[in-house]
């Protein structure tokens, strides 16, 4: 293990619109909407109508959402004519049955909007032909009928798409420009502080969904091949003996003399497991969004071939 080398550590960091004109407010009766529904382990050694977002577990290095989470964020709903629209906007949640965005209405009991009813619920149903030209109805929903509550799975995907997963800081011993050699175990790790759980919540109406991203592995691309380590790895430090072990290391089988700058390009990404839970008005209590990789951090490593010296 890294015998006879003086190694350092290289770290590479790798609403509504103002002035909207809303016309025609008239009561209507709703029978209820139909809301949309939303590798290898290596062992070495031994309606609110506005989205309200809250985030915990601040990343140590900001990065864009992973491709999987970003794809989920971009999912949208459709009008009856096939036009794609966002599932949630500042006007509320898309209500397919009425082709509008629904948000809870706060008209007091006894007002004309209740049409003489004393139970059920009221919803603002907003549809806009263009910015500045909107149509708003007050819709009464009978008790026991499904109200225009958002689908928690859709809200979860939206929150996941906004989540900034941590960009890994790729550390290698030996650190470039110090070389390593074919057959030598090179320690790999990210800072322990980056191995942390992230959360993000989003709220629409009386529904709040919290997405939790738990790190499960670090995926390393070493140039000619890759490996997946089960944790952050162990930081190497000068003075460690040959008995020291780590959960993440890699030995090259070839040198890097044919590579640009005579070094292999290395990258590391934290792999997260995303799940969600719902509180408030929920059609489902929880769900699973699967695995998603954070932005990659990069480094490089020069690999030499040891030469055999024959002494007579």
**Is the predicted pLDDT of residue 58 greater than 80, yes or no?**
no
* Placement of tokens 């790190």 in the chain: 215
Higher local confidence (pLDDT), 209 or 1: 209
**Is the predicted pLDDT of residue 44 greater than 70, yes or no?**
no
Burial 246-264 (b: 16+ CB within 10 A, else e): bbbbbebeebbeebeeebb
- DSSP three-state, residue 69: helix
Q: Is residue 286 part of a domain?
A: yes
Q: State residue 205's pLDDT score.
A: 65
Report residue 53's pLDDT band, with 50, 70 and 90 as the boundaries. Answer: very low
> What single DSSP character describes residue 185?
E
Burial 175-194 (b: 16+ CB within 10 A, else e): bbeebbbeebbbbbbbbeeb
Distance, CA of 183 to CA of 306 (rounded, Å): 9
- Count the neighbouring beta carbons within 10 Å of the beta carbon of residue 15: 10
Q: State residue 189's pLDDT score.
A: 98
**Residue numbers of the domain that contains 288:** 10-20+37-76+149-304
Q: Do 269 and 296 form a contact (C-beta atoms < 8 A)?
A: yes
Q: Is residue 165 part of a domain?
A: yes
Mean pLDDT, range 129-139, rounded to an integer: 87
The H or E element containing residue 159 is helix 152-162
Q: Do 105 and 126 form a contact (C-beta atoms < 8 A)?
A: no
Q: Is residue 118 part of a domain?
A: no
The pLDDT > 70 percentage for the chain reads: 72
| Residue-wise pLDDT tens digits, 76-114 | 577 888 888 887 788 888 887 788 888 888 899 889 999
Q: What are phi and psi of 230, to 5 degrees?
A: -75, -5
Q: Is residue 105 part of a domain?
A: no
Cα 170–Cα 174–Cα 179 angle in degrees, nearest 5: 120
Strand order from edge to edge, sheet including 10-12: 10-12, 170-173, 185-189, 249-251
Q: Is residue 86 part of a domain?
A: no
Distance, CA of 99 to CA of 90 (rounded, Å): 16
Q: State residue 158's pLDDT score.
A: 86
Max Cα distance, the chain (Å): 108
Count up the domains in the chain and report the number. 1
Q: Is residue 138 part of a domain?
A: no
Q: Is residue 121 part of a domain?
A: no
Q: Is residue 116 part of a domain?
A: no
Q: State residue 8's pLDDT score.
A: 33
Q: How far apart are the first and last CA of the chain?
A: 29
């Amino acid at each position: 293990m890294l015998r006879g080398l003086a190694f350092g550590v290289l770290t590479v960091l790798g609403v509504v619109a103002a002035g909207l004109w809303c016309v025609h407010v008239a009561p209507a009766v709703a029978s209820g909407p139909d809301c949309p529904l939303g590798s290898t382990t290596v062992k070495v050694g031994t309606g609110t109508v506005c989205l309200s977002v809250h985030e915990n577990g601040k990343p140590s290095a900001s990065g864009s959402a992973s491709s999987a989470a970003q794809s989920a964020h971009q999912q949208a709903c459709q009008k009856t004519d096939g036009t794609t629209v966002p599932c949630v906007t500042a006007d509320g949640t898309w209500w397919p049955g009425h082709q509008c965005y629904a948000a809870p209405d706060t008209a007091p009991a006894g007002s004309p909007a209740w049409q003489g009813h004393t139970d059920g619920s009221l919803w603002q149903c907003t549809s806009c032909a263009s910015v500045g030209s909107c149509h708003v109805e007050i819709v009464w929903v009978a008790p026991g009928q499904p109200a225009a509550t958002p689908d928690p799975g859709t809200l979860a995907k939206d929150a996941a798409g906004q989540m900034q997963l941590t960009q890994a800081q790729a550390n290698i011993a030996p650190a470039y420009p110090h070389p390593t050699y074919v057959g030598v175990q090179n320690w790999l790790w990210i800072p322990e502080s980056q191995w942390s759980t992230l959360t993000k919540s989003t709220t629409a109406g009386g529904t709040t969904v919290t997405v939790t991203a738990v790190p499960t592995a670090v995926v390393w691309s070493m140039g000619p091949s890759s490996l997946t380590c089960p944790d952050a790895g162990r930081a190497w430090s000068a003075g460690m003996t040959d008995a020291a072990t780590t959960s993440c290391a890699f030995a090259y089988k070839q040198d890097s003399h044919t590579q640009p700058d005579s070094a292999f390009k290395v990258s590391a990404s934290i792999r997260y497991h995303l799940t969600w839970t719902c509180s408030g008005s929920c059609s489902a209590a929880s769900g699973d969004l699967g695995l998603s990789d954070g932005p990659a951090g990069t480094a490089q490593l020069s690999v030499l071939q040891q030469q055999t010296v024959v002494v007579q």
